Amino acid sequence: MTETPQTTPAASTPDTSDIPSMRGALGQHALVRDERPPIPGPITRDSQAFRELADDLPVRRVLWMLASGMTWPWVLESVTTPAARNRAIRRGLMAPPVGEADAVLVPYHLTDAGRAELLDWVARITPHRHLPEVDALWRMATWK
């Protein structure tokens, strides 16, 4: 006598409507903002907005260099200060290299928090790049 194998009901597809997608509208990556930024108000060297853009510029320089691909210790250490790298590590914006000094296995890298911090700074500074003071901040962080 042959037995009929027990079949399990077909697995139902889980409801994923409440899970955030890795893509934004129109196929943009999740890190790309979909909404237009608000039209910036006037910014001067004495304004709070300028001070926020200039706040901890050496750490923003470290984040920019990491995002640009300068991840190996000997490269990053030649263009940033130890204090800025240490602040970025303590704040969880980047992770230090793994391995001995002469045999690094994994270089410095941005964390998700560091990437979000850098993207937020770029989004806030970009509308004001036409101002010489703000453009100077941009050049100090990016060398561009």
**52-99 pLDDT tens trace:** 888 889 999 999 999 999 888 888 889 899 999 999 999 999 998 887
Distance (Å, whole) CA 119 – CA 98: 25
Q: Which domain holds residue 124?
A: 47-142
Beta-carbon neighbour count of residue 89 at 10 Å?
17
In a domain, 138, yes or no: yes
User: pLDDT value at position 9?
Assistant: 55
Q: Is the pLDDT of residue 30 over 70?
A: no
Q: What secondary structure letter does DSSP report for 128?
A: G
Q: Is residue 93 part of a domain?
A: yes
- Residue of 7, 62, 33 lying closest to 124 (CA atoms): 33
Please provide residue 105's backbone torsions phi and psi, each rounded to the nearest 5 degrees: -90, -40
- How many percent of the chain have pLDDT more than 90? 28
Mean pLDDT of 101-115: 83
Domain assignment present for 126: yes
Q: Quick check: is 25 in a domain? A: no
In which band, very low, low, confident or very high, does the pLDDT at 17 lie, cut at 50, 70 and 90? Answer: low
C-alpha 8 chain-centroid distance: 45
pLDDT exceeds 60 at position 18: no
For 17-144, where are the alpha helices, taking DSSP H only?
48-54, 57-67, 73-79, 82-90, 112-125, 132-142
Give the pLDDT confidence score for residue 36 in this predicted structure.
56
The CATH number of the domain where 54 resides is what? 1.10.10
Q: Is residue 13 scored above 80 in pLDDT?
A: no
Q: Average of pLDDT values for 30-34?
A: 53
> How many domains does the chain fold into?
1
68 within some domain: yes
Residue 123 domain flag: yes
